[in-house]
A and B are shown apart, each in its own frame.
Chain A
Amino acid sequence: MRSIRAAAIGAVTLSLAIAATACGGGSSTAGNGSNDSPKTLTYWASNQGASINVDKKVLQPELDKFKEQTGITVKLEVVPWSELLNRILTATTSGQGPDVLNIGNTWSASLQASGALLPWDAENFRTIGGKDRFVDSALGSTGAQGKDPAAVPLYSMAYALYYNKKIFADAGIAKPPATWDELVADAKKIKQHGAAALGAEGANLSENIHHAFVFAKQHGADFFTADGKPDFTSDGAVAAIKQYVDLMAKDKAIPPGNAEYAQNQSLSDFAKGKTAMVLWQTASATFKSLGMKDDEWGVAPAPTPSGTPGTGTSVNSMVAGINMAVFKNTDNHDGALKFVKFMTSDAEQKILNTAYGSIPPVKAAQSDPAFNTQATAVLRSTLAKSAEALPQVPQESQFETAVGTAVKELFADAAAGRAVTTESVKARLHKAQQQMPAK
């Protein structure tokens, strides 16, 4: 009898425990932040270095410094790019997320729409030293226009043309190409000398979208109308995507094998001297980690139709970069703001951006001589003169997937030797547009 009673009590206790866990799950979902745990912060960093371990080595000493100054322990997790957006989505739905996190700046408007991130109103900006500390172009990629930014710029990056000096010299090319015609002509010379001309990541949706955006700008086209509706099939957009894919299909500058690249294989090809050029954002640190010496590669502004980067149809890069955001339901609101202030301080900006080869979006840090080297001067001037932000609309992340996949499939066609025509490009883009949510 006693054992039966014990079993019954055990069963009831277990049931209560289960019920309690079930109810306890998402209670903090709609919370609006507090200061309940002022001594700790959880920070999700994006993968900026050559590997997750490199990031930990770069960031940990700085986090230790922050602890010395404020007594707040920052628990660091470096999240790979392939997982970051899903992790943020999961954190948003469950309410169980980090306090502070890095986001790709192109996601700003999409994540802003979810309402999970703390809006940076004038007062929040004041606590980190004011909005005017940041460069305008970087602020242009922090959320939809007319709304308080969803995040603060942390690292700025831009696309440039990286080239292998030795291959160029062997092929008798004196200076890097400034226009697409020159690039195609140089590609022919390079191929005669046995190397591949231009590397690309044909199956990487984000890379595809970044190039599609810039080519569209050069054709005077936009993927969204002024009131935020998708407009993927305009003549300019179709011509733009066709021009990019034709670099493989018609001009044979990009080797067909690159159609299935999605894990930065094009960078290792470049570092091994297999390809002569890559269009990449802030690649210097990666080249070094892949064993390429600084004097083996050169960097030039990415080509434009006219040969001179500028605004309008002479745009040659997106405003690439990383923003730092605070989850609205953080239980260490003040600590989180302190941490953002620390990470965007002049001193930390110099240290971090030097380590990652990126450009500080903070004006005072940008003028440091460390950002006037071969690698960074081109990026800096691109950001200042000829870079534009991707559309800051809530549907941006869907656009990345839909159009990125269309370009991936066009590359697959090109690699298989199938014709890439204006009609086939338009058909793919039409399909991509139809997949966008109606509202």
Chain B
Amino acid sequence: MTADIPMTTTTATAQVDKQAAPGKSPGAARGPRRTGRIRRIALPYLLLLPALLLELLVHLVPMAIGILMSFKELTQFFIRDWTTAPWSGFDNYQLSVDFDAPVGEALLHSFLVTCGFTLLSVGLCWLLGTATAIFLQDTFRGRGLLRTLFLVPYALPVYTAVITWAFMFQHDNGLVNHVLHDQLGLTDKPSFWLIGDNSFIALLTVSVWKGWPFAFLIVMAGLQNIPRELYEAAALDGAGMWQQIRHITLPSLRPVNQVLVLVLFLWTFNDFNTPFALFGKAAPEAADLISIHIYQSSFVTWNFGTGSAMSVLLLLFLLVVTGVYLLLTSRRRKTADV
């Protein structure tokens, strides 16, 4: 639940460090000159103080408390004053990663479902977004209208949109079954989308519908930076559309894509709103995303220690993935530069 925090946290603290560093200059002058100097040294710190405190308050303190909670046996008996909860060492972690026992097994299952879901969702979002952006690159009548239309899912409030989808996915009166079964006759009988195995498809559909406009927007912006002359030169050399895309568009988009895929990955992996609005507190096994699984492990069963331990594990996983991803992409960029 808190896993989108590390990104902003690291960058923000890094900035603080960078800005604070020049203030450290040893050496002492006496008298009024000295106080003037102290003032000058102190000023940047003073000005940074509110931001630093807010940063602590909003990001770091809750994170630290979350980590602390994961080492406690924080059940309903202690929630009134969680500091009185007994320390449980690594029990919560052991419980979470013991994949032979039901709790760990369920967490692993949920993790794998989330991985599969994220891969498919990010892949499809990127593919749809990039394809559409490329098709809309040439000017034609109605282009502005289409661009606006495509951004609508991104602009809609998540809950409203997902609840509408939930209505459409209903078994008895839903639009999806009406079209697929009643009108097109594609299925033998109306399918269940909100329970059972199909729920994965339902979740993926909504996620892609909701996420691809962002990819479209970012790629569209990236495309504006590619010099038109490159295409003209390529066209003169006899490159077709597909070759132009492969050798000009995609390589030029690489920096944009690197950030885009990372952001989409983090958002999708942590997505809570979509499964919660679609399925409620208990998601079907096939669509048991990790964020909602952790929610159920803490809020619904009132076992906040285990929930926190799972959150910390998720945080670690996302940190590692992000770190490795950034390392790989920056290394590739460096070799490309050379």
Contact = CB atoms under 8 A, between A and B. Distances in A.
B301 A89 contact: no
Contact of A18 (B57, B101, B171, B303): B57
Contacts of B43: 4, 8
Contact of B284 (A114, A404, A409): A409
Contacts of B79: 89, 92-93, 114, 116
A110 interface: yes
A355 B38 CA distance: 72
A419 interface: no
8 contacts: A29-B80, A29-B81, A203-B194, A257-B190, A260-B192, A260-B195, A409-B195, A416-B196
Nearest to A117: B80
Interface string A410-435: 01110110000000000000010011
Q: Which 6 A-B pairs have the closest CB atoms?
A: A434-B102, A412-B195, A257-B172, A14-B50, A405-B282, A15-B49
A439 B192 contact: no
A15 B50 contact: yes
Given A22-B61, A398-B302, A30 B54 contact: no
Measured as residues with beta carbon below 8 angstroms from the partner, the interface class of chain A is 35 or more
Nearest to A398: B301
Nearest to B297: A435
B296 interface: yes
B170 interface: yes
Interface residues of B, number: 42
Given A203-B195, A409-B284, A434-B102, A260 B76 contact: no
Nearest to B286: A412
A401 interface: yes
B192 A30 contact: no
Nearest to B82: A93
A415 B172 CA distance: 12
B254 interface: no
B171 A435 contact: no
Contacts of A394: 76-77
A290 B18 CA distance: 64
Interface in B186-209: 190, 192, 194-197
A229 to B, nearest CB: 16
Interface of A: 4, 7-8, 11-12, 14-15, 18-19, 21-22, 29-30, 82, 86, 89, 92-93, 95, 110-111, 113-116, 202-203, 205, 256-257, 259-260, 262, 394, 397-398, 401-402, 404-405, 408-409, 411-413, 415-416, 431, 434-435, 437, 439
Interface of B: 42-43, 46-47, 49-50, 53-54, 57, 61, 73, 75-77, 79-82, 101-103, 106, 170-172, 190, 192, 194-197, 280-282, 284-285, 296, 299-303
A435 B106 contact: yes
Contacts, number: 123
* Most A CB within 10 A of own CB, among B46, B47, B302: B302
A437 B303 contact: yes
Contact of B299 (A89, A111, A114): A89
A11 B170 contact: no
Nearest to A19: B53
Contacts of B81: 29-30
Nearest to B299: A86
Given A89-B299, A260-B192, A260-B194, A114 B80 contact: yes
Nearest to B91: A438
A11 B301 contact: no
Contact of B103 (A86, A114, A397, A434): A434
Contacts of B302: 89, 110, 397-398
B171 A256 contact: yes
B50 A18 contact: yes
A408 B80 contact: no
Contacts of A15: 49-50, 53
A10 B138 CA distance: 52
Contacts of B303: 398, 437
